[in-house]
Amino acid sequence: MSREGVTPQSEDFSAWYNELVVQAQLVDRGPVRGTMVIRPYGYRVWELLQADLDRRIKDAGHDNACFPMLIPESYFKREAEHVEGFSPELAVVTHAGGKDLEEPLVMRPTSETVIGEYMAKWIDSHRDLPLLLNQWANVVRWEMRPRMFLRTTEFLWQEGHTAHIDEGDAMRETMWALDTYASVARELAAIPVIAGEKTPGERFAGAVRTYTIEGMMRDGRALQAGTSHYLGTNFAKAFEIQYQDEAGKLTLAHTTSWGMSTRMIGGMIMTHGDDKGLVLPPRLAPYQVVIVPIGRKEQGEQAAAEARRLGAAIKSMGIRVHVDDNRPQLSPGFKFNEWEMRGVPVRIELGKRDIEGGVATVVRRLPTVEGQGKEQIPLDKVPEVLPGILAEFQSFLLARAEAFREEHTAAVDAWDAFTAQVGTGWARAFHCGSTACEDEIKAETAATPRVIPAEAPEETGVCVKCGQPSAYGKRVIFGKAY
């Protein structure tokens, strides 16, 4: 860890983020522009997220599968809107084995095409539906403006792909995925996302409807943290995904796709982090508790032994704990700063006076209420009180982020008020639904329509930009985005 710390958020939020993800040992820069190496500490965050989401996916009846990374270019050309939408981001292999390939191979940017090909092979009858598949994989999208976790040329994600007997069943699946992502964001990452539909101009290429969860970062920008798409019969037509209904008639299936990626980690960092470093929600923290023994020579050995004993008791409670007892060359102050930088929710300091007094000094990464940043707790009580402290900290982070979002979101009707509001946060405004109007708004303000909130009250008005009647019966959230 650098002794200089990171650039303050208020000075340069982008520099703060770029420095932090490296200094906190989450990632390192990859050998190819736009790639990253996820270090063990960062990968553990992903594993915790993955384990929870994978359980939810399997509990809902989905099966994991694995499809090839290399996809024939001809597959993409079967769905015109899809290939047009992804063309600028495609990485294409044209040479292999020392010679030109007969057909270029696309490195998977997403798997609707290749999975569609196999759905068509595996589905014959209505009895084969629904077909519920999920894949944990890496994908490649050639990013022009890469940023660790948020936009990298190669990243990790899960992608669900399902086929259904009709629109109603497919839409239930689409909304299940959206609700699941919203729950994961709130319950694990403590990000108070807003869920809803994308405008036509923001839809996934080839989708009939796209749904999203959007979170507000601490610089007021939006982050799309997960999407769910109802694809209708578009891909079914392109790949002949069809089934015989009960009357023996050949009928097109309705398909969906949905995905969440390592981008969620970037969202978590930018939602909770501060000038000292990461602030990790306990449910996604590799170490929920770190114990730092204090003292030199014999006192240090005594403190380390007590720290290991306490660590074992804490671990027996199902808490992820690390005892920092093998770096005697580093001062306690350096270790305190390092673990703050790395975002551990709770630090326990254990020195001679603590042991003699039968207490441990417990320090939260952030004070949750006045005066509760640091407190002394009887040693024998520490393991039993920690679950409550961690649960309180998790809830505190969610409430804190929700309050920040509400403070930086406002309903606006005038264009001048709109341009001012999207400079610092989100604007709730009426929109005519025109893609051309969206393009004008983006050109003038860099803001885009992020989401038509599912739970927003019904309202009517006129478009904040062109003055035409609003299209959605409610206000749309606009903001600058990552």
Is residue 403 one of the residues assigned to a domain?
Answer: no
pLDDT, position 269: 99
* Segment 257-271, tens digit of pLDDT: 999 999 999 999 999
Q: What is the total count of domains within the chain?
A: 3
368 band by pLDDT with thresholds 50, 70 and 90:
confident
Q: Is it true that the peptide bond before 293 is cis, omega within 30 degrees of 0?
A: no
pTM here?
0.95
pLDDT, position 144: 85
- Is the CA virtual torsion 36, 42, 47, 50 positive or negative? negative
Copy the structure tokens of residue 401.
């982020």
Claim to verify: residue 424 and residue 343 sit in the same structural domain = no
357-361: Cβ within 8 A, 24+ apart: 360/310
Domain with 341 in it: what CATH number? 3.40.50.800
Is residue 63 one of the residues assigned to a domain?
Answer: yes
Is residue 397 one of the residues assigned to a domain?
Answer: no
| Max intra-chain CA distance, the chain | 84
C-alpha neighbours within 13 Å on the C-beta side of residue 329: 0
User: Which residues partner with 230 through β-bridges?
Assistant: 209, 256
Domain with 75 in it: what CATH number? 3.30.930.10
Last-in-domain residue among 330, 356, 389: 389
Residue 464 lies in domain? 409-479
Cβ-contact 48, 284 below 8 angstroms = yes
- Is the CA virtual torsion 185, 186, 190, 191 positive or negative? positive
How far apart CA 323 and CA 50 sit, in angstroms, is 25
* Segment 129-187, tens digit of pLDDT: 999 999 999 999 998 899 999 999 999 999 999 999 999 999 999 999 999 999 999 99
Copy the structure tokens of residue 202.
């923001």
